[in-house]
């Protein structure tokens, strides 16, 4: 009986949280792009893929290479912000950034 309760707890409480995980805390989402990401499973997944790639790459670099990557990321974040709440624009920005990070 306890196992069944734990299974329901996992399915109904924890899984929705995992599906809405982002590289930033949605409680503090203020810009239109961040709000759009928090409201969209598709954009949230793209954000997670990009963040995983970015942090893995960033942690493998040092010195000027790491600084250059961080500058590129800040510029990319600004370009994503320019999408506003346009989900298609945000998704395109993520896909481009994911390709760039994979090719780095």
Cβ atoms 36, 24 nearer than 8 A: no
Task: Look at residue 97 and give its three-state secondary structure.
Answer: helix
pTM of the model: 0.78
Q: For residue 11, is pLDDT > 80?
A: no
**pLDDT band for position 27 (50/70/90)?**
very high
Q: Average pLDDT of 78-83?
A: 98
Rounded CA-CA distance 50/44 in Å is 10
Q: For residue 80, is pLDDT > 80?
A: yes
- Look at the chain and report how many structural domains it folds into: 1
Rounded CA-CA distance 52/10 in Å is 24
Q: Give the per-residue pLDDT at 13.
A: 39
Rounded CA-CA distance 101/44 in Å is 18
Q: Give the per-residue pLDDT at 23.
A: 87
Q: Average pLDDT of 13-22?
A: 45
Which domain does 11 fall in, by range? 2-103
């Amino acid at each position: 009986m306890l196992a069944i309760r734990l299974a329901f707890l996992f399915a109904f409480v924890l899984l929705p949280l995992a599906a809405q995980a982002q590289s930033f805390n949605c409680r503090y989402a203020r810009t239109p792009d961040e709000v759009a990401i928090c409201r969209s499973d598709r954009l949230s997944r793209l954000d997670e893929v990009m963040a995983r790639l970015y942090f893995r790459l960033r942690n493998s670099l040092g010195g000027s290479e790491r600084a250059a990557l961080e500058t590129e990321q800040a510029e990319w974040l600004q370009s994503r912000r320019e999408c506003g709440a346009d989900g298609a624009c945000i998704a395109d920005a993520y896909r481009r950034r994911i390709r760039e990070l994979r090719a780095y």
